[in-house]
Structure 1
């Protein structure tokens, strides 16, 4: 990943974390990594553990940020989420997958959208 894309992604994750907190989420982990993959943000909303993928774009040339969460990415996130739930002894608790879409236009304020229940557990 280029340095410019890395910086854009980090800025998007920072904006998403602030936005989520302002909307009632408690951030538990950021950039939770295992050998099988990474989850950008793990949060708690009420009694639900939420696994959040953040996608940031500076233009819509390549489609919406949320469209980049492909079935392959969903499977990867699901595997990490299952392992997290096992390790935390939370297999019987409520969990879901959200996507936060961040559009950063350097001529105006960022646009941030939360897509709750963006996809179902996928572990092919």
Structure 2
């Protein structure tokens, strides 16, 4: 497995632990539908959070929240819609990003709620 894949998996694990500490229940990890994939589906009260995890080392100094392009958003929306229909859910759906920045052996996480809007 490539280093970026290892960091991605580790980032998702860190994001899950972080969300659980914030009171979220993890409903699904790596949910796939057609060409789309949702990293984490989490719920807190009446909100279903569709969470995209972006993991980087400090070698990448880009704004991680801006790395979700319109094509990715379209795939996330279609995949989230499938999950909601498949599970017959009546919840508010929100699209979040959790950024995971690795600095040596330390990790810095940030949770951006309502990171982008769907149409």
TM superposition score normalised by structure 1: 0.89
Aligned pair count?
119
How far 1:60 moved relative to its partner? Answer: 5.3
- 2:47: which partner in 1? 48
Structure 1 outlier segments of 4+, above 4 Å: none
- 1:98: which partner in 2? 96
How far 1:68 moved relative to its partner? Answer: 1.2
Using the TM superposition, name which of 8-17 and 61-70 deviates more: 61-70
- Structure-2 separation of matches of 1:77 and 1:33: 10
- Structure-2 separation of matches of 1:71 and 1:60: 25
Matches within 5 A, 1:68-83: 68-83=67-82
TM superposition score normalised by structure 2: 0.92
- 2:65: which partner in 1? 66
Unaligned stretches of 5+ residues in structure 1: none
RMSD of the TM alignment (CA)?
A: 1.5
- Structure-2 separation of matches of 1:61 and 1:55: 11
SS of 1:117 mapped into structure 2: coil
Deviations 1:52-92 (A, max 9, x none): 000000025350222211121111111100111111112x4
- Structure-1 separation of matches of 2:66 and 2:58: 13
Matches within 5 A, 1:17-36: 17-36=16-35
Unaligned stretches of 5+ residues in structure 2: none
- Structure-2 separation of matches of 1:50 and 1:87: 16
